[in-house]
Each structure stands twice: as C-alpha cells, then as structure tokens.
Structure 1
C-alpha cells in the first residue's frame, strides 16, 4: 500500500512540503518530525497487512484469549488494554492459520460462568489461551467440559493435563537472592502482597530455599506481607519503617505493586537507596516511573511467552498434537543503581 503524502500531512497536522522533505530524505526537518512521519507510515503499513491477513483467513473458527480475574488486583493493566500490540500479533498469528481471534475478560465476582460457557459454545470457539495468573485449579474444570484444547499462561495446575507457558519464578528469585548475597547482603527481607497466587507462592518458596542454601537464616521469618494495592503497601511500609528496619540491608520486592508502594514510602522519608537500603524488584513496572531511582530488576518475557503459548494452541488445533508441555521462560536480571556493593565498600 502506498500512503499519500497529503494523507500523512493531514493525519499528523504537518504541511505537505514538510512531509515531502522527509520522504525524499532532504534536510530542513528536525529529527522528531522525521520520526513521527516514519512511525506513522510503519503503523499504517502494519494495519494494512493485518487487514489483508484477516481478509484471507479461512475462518475455521475462533481462538479465544481469556483473562480470568479472580481478585482484580494483578491483571488490571492488561485487562484494560485490549488493543495492545500483543493482541494485534496474536490476531495476525491466528489469521495465518485460518482462525479468528477474540479477547475476553471474565470477572469471577461479577460474571456469570454458565453464561460465559454458553457464549463460548455458541461462538464456535475452537481453543482457549488463558491468562491464568489468578486462577485456581478448580476454576479451570468448567472449561474442560467444553472438550476443546486449552493452554494455560502464567500458572501451572499439576493435577490437570493442560499445557502451560510460564515464567520461571524460582529461577528468578534465586538469581535475585544470589545477586544480593554476592554483593555482601545477608539480612534480606522479602516484601510480599497479601494474596496467594501461583507466581507469588513460587517466589516465596524459592526465597526460603535460597536463603537456606546461602546460609542467610530462616527465610520464613523474613517474609513480610504488606497488602495488595499501592496505597495499602505504602501505609504498611510506613508502619514497618516506624518500628525500624534493624539490621536489614536489602529488600526483595515481590511485584510491581510492592515496588511502587515501598519506594514511595522510602523516598518520602529521604532514605538513601542503596546506601541505607538496597532494593531488587520482580516484574516490569507500569508506565509510571519512580523519579530518581534506577531499580535493579528481575524481569520475565511476557510478550514472547504468550505468543509462544498461542502458537502451541494453534499447533494443537492444526496438527492434533497431544503431548502435554510445560514451558518455563528464564528471567533476566537488569542491573540498576539500587543495590549497594558492601563487599566493594569493605575491601576497597
């Protein structure tokens, strides 16, 4: 598809002459404007390609991406962004195999499960990929009665014969604790949310195990539950700080909610990070930034993992693959400035 200069100019509120200079790689236009023009062209071309793929789809049925919200505290960000790049990629992926793509959110507290199941049957849904971070095993059973392939994202139900694609929480926490210990920290406290979901439970178990392996004491006594919203974490953290952190030199932050609430309390008290307290987070932060803090972070690969899970679901449908797989994605440790190197300070 060739996008006309006048259409680009109209959409971006630029003059046709400016757009012409950009497209012909002529001087006289600042880099920000050039970037806007090329980004717009890329976006339009991607939309046209997506439209073309959808038109060519054989429509063998629909593949459903279903976010199941039990507590309503973990998945708000993705649930409120149904038109993300991830969903566009999934839609294109399904279309290439002849399937339509659909995204739904089911709120357990307010939704009607039987109505949801009836809706799935009536819409010719051929398979479901679950965003299942908040689900329990019992929540999956009603969907098994549909007798269609399912793939579980961000959870693992040992008793069910279901494929799972998830981040390796234990490996991530081991990586984080080892990093702190290698920097000279042994008085480490794990700051947790209140709810018990699979990802959090795995992280807490790994913390206890790794603290024992590294001979840093009983980790069960080093887990502090603060709350499930940023405000609750902030209030609980202030109460904790009022009592004093004693010998604690480092915190492991269980989630982005814990990170935002904790850092807000610490920074308001002008605590020096990392000199007074070191921090290592788990999970990518939301769009909001933490001013003045470059956090050391354990991060998983969410987009690639979910796309891989969707590809596997399509293979189940097209190739009739019947092997049960459990795929763990390793984490990365992204070094920031929030961990103090005590060994370097001592020996140098």
Structure 2
C-alpha cells in the first residue's frame, strides 16, 4: 500500500479510502490510485491473517467456470472439488457468464483472498494481465478454452474434431442441408466448433456458403427462436447441429413444437440430462467434464508441488453417442 501511495502521490490513508470505496474522494484521486494499483499489481488482502508467505499457503483455489447453471460447468466444478478435498483444499468458485469484465473482477477477488492457484475459463481477448501473478509463483491452469497472451497449462476438449464428427455423422445419413446453431462467435470453443463443421462440409464437397450458420445464440430461448426462423421459410434444413448444450435444449423444444422431432435429424455438442429418455433419444457429441476437471486439478497441484516443466495443452477426446435423433434420414 505504501508503494501505491508513493506512485500515486497520495497518503496511505487515501489509498485505503479508495480501496474501501469510502466517500468524499475526488474522481481524479481515485483514478490515480487505481492506476498505480494496476501498475504495481496490488491486490488488497481482505484477510490479513491469511497473508501468504513463502512458507505458508492458504489451502484454497480460485475456480472460474462458464456458469454454475450449466451442467457441464457443474460437473467440472465437482471433479475439481473432489480432487481438492482429498488434499484439504477449499475451492472458491464463481460464474463467468461470458462477460470479460466479470472475468477480471472474479480473478481479482480470488487474488485478494490469496488463493494458492487459479483454474480459469477465459473469455476476455487476453489473459496477459495474469503474467505478473504467474511470475510471482501463482499457478494458473485454463479449462475449456485456450488462453491468449500468456503461456500456461490448459485442459480442453477436442472441439473442432468433435464438431467434424457430428457433421460427418449427419452427412453419412444422407443429409446435405445442415444447419449449425452456435454460441457467441467470439468465444474460442464456439469458433472451433464452427471450424470443424465447415471443414467437414468442405471435405464432403458440400458448398459451405450454402450452409445455415446461426450464431451468437447463448441459451435455450435464443436457440428456440432460431429454430422458428429456420423452419418458417420454404427452403429448410433437414438436419441440425447444435453446438452447445443449452442451445440443444432450445432446438429440441422448437422441433417438438413443430412436430419435427422425428423428421429433422439433430446432433448436439455436449450431453443433455435425460437426453436418452426423449423420443427419439438425443444423439450427442459427449465431452468428459469429469476428466477435464480432474486433469486441471492435477496440473495446478503439480505446479504447487514444484513441477516447473514448460506449460502444455491437454486435449480431451469427445465421443459420439447415437441415440436416434442423429440417425434420422432426410425426409425431403
């Protein structure tokens, strides 16, 4: 705090007032203090008694997932907690909700609590803001999406190959008019799944320019509306690849409302709870969130135990599960 005060040209008490958001501090002073804190990578410790020293840890991890409401994130969270509990380590978890600003806020909150390591699902354009923290010895492991601006361990699914596998399966059933329903186009996983879809169409000689690409869907409601739009016109797809589990739920609802669930093929990326009980059962490209979480926990603990080998990205395979919806042949 003394360093921040010196750099900002104010007193220590003023820095404390800014950090604690006390009133009657000018906006100019707040800006100088915050700028100095950012330059010095200063994070106020809300639990001074837990201040980390070279011979002491807080026995905590910070975990940032896409959304605790998403079953995939929940499964990853559970496997990390299981691994951490076996070592007497607590896990602080927060939802990202694909908001870059929220990523920085959550990470800052973790660091203020002096967590021993970070396991993060990134969404901002660069995670370079973590370089200084990494240099100070805090291990950082990324899950679900590869980071940018920092060289760190990452555990991800084989998104492009999984999407290609889904597309290939639909092509093998005789489909050529296939619609792609994707998440936000600027999210790494979504762009990888789009890439796998388009490349597989290209390999099969299907003009990619004629494919239905409906992107920037983020939940079942927007996906439901997308299905409504796709089947409102005269030219319609005979198959749908929904590239995210919440989007798949919206697609299921939309198809069932139009009584198309047995006429239009559907393959989803990531499994959906009770998908095997539908009629027809839901065909999916299944990820392995338990494996992803376990590997992420293993990497962060290995780093804490002194593993200083170069960072690496581990790609976890996906699996096609045929249940019926993806095996419907074209009706037109």
TM-score (norm 1): 0.68
- The change in CA–CA distance for 1:93 and 1:65 in structure 2 (over 3 A counts) is farther
Count of paired positions: 272
Instruction: Report if the CA contact (8 A) 1:127-1:313 is conserved.
Output: yes
Determine the structure 2 residue equivalent to 1:233.
223
Indicate if the aligned counterparts of 2:270 and 2:287 stay in contact, CA closer than 8 A.
yes
Q: Report if aligned partners of 1:256, 1:282 keep a CA contact under 8 Å in 2.
A: yes
Query: What is the distance in 2 between the residues matched to 1:82 and 1:265?
Result: 27
1:219-298 equivalences under 5 Å are: 221-225=211-215, 227-246=217-236, 248-273=237-262, 276-286=263-273, 291-298=278-285
How far is the alpha carbon of 1:183 from its aligned partner? 2.0
Instruction: Determine the C-alpha separation between the residues in 2 that align with 1:91 and 1:202.
Output: 30
Residue of structure 2 equivalent to 1:307: 294
Is 2:60–2:115's contact at 8 Å kept on the other side of the alignment?
yes
* Corresponding residue SS for 1:185: coil
Cross-structure match for 2:62 = 65
1:89 aligns with 2:89: no
Instruction: Confirm whether residue 182 of structure 1 aligns to residue 166 of structure 2.
Output: no
Q: In the aligned structure 1, how far is the partner of 2:60 from the partner of 2:304?
A: 10
1:136 match: 124
Contact 1:94 1:314 in 2 (8 A): no
Pairing partner for 1:120 from 106, 111, 114: 111
Task: Go from structure 1 to structure 2 and tell me whether the alpha carbon gap of 1:124 and 1:199 turns closer, same or farther (over 3 Å shift).
Answer: same
SS at 1:257's partner residue? helix
Summarize the alignment of residues 14-93 of structure 1 with structure 2, pairs less than 5 Å apart: 60-67=57-64, 75-77=68-70, 85-93=78-86
The runs of 5 or more residues in structure 2 that have no matched partner are 1-54
Contact 1:230/1:261, CA 8 A, preserved across alignment: yes
How much has 1:109 moved relative to structure 2? 7.6
Is the CA contact 1:188–1:222 (under 8 Å) kept in the aligned structure 2? Answer: yes
Cα distance, 1:84 vs structure 2: 6.5
**Residue matched to 2:202:** 212
User: Kindly tell me: are residues 177 and 255 of structure 1, through their superposed partners in 2, closer, same or farther at Cα, counting changes over 3 Å?
Assistant: same
* Kept after mapping to 1: 8 A contact 2:76/2:290: no
1:15-39 CA-to-partner distances (Å, cap 9, x unmatched) read: xxxxxxxxxxxxxxxxxxxxxxxxx
CA distance in 2 between counterparts of 1:193 and 1:114 reads 23
Contact 2:76 2:289 in 1 (8 A): no
| Conserved 8 A contact 2:81-2:90 | no
Query: Is 1:226–1:237's contact at 8 Å kept on the other side of the alignment?
Result: no
What is the alpha-carbon distance in structure 2 between the residues aligned to residue 115 and residue 294 of structure 1? 38
- Distance in 1 between residues matched to 2:59 and 2:231, nearest whole Å: 52
* Structure 1 residue 166 displacement after superposition: 0.3
For 2:106 and 2:244, locate their aligned partners in 1 and report how far apart those are by CA, in whole Å: 33
What is the correspondence of 1:98-109 to structure 2 with a 5 Å cutoff? 100-105=89-94
Matching residue of 1:339: 326
Runs of 4+ in structure 1 displaced over 6 angstroms?
287-290
Q: Which residue of 2 aligns with 1:155?
A: 145
Alpha-carbon distance between aligned partners in 1 of 2:64 and 2:68, rounded to the nearest angstrom: 8
Query: Could you say if the C-alpha distance between residues 304 and 219 of structure 1 is closer, same or farther in structure 2, counting changes exceeding 3 Å?
Result: farther
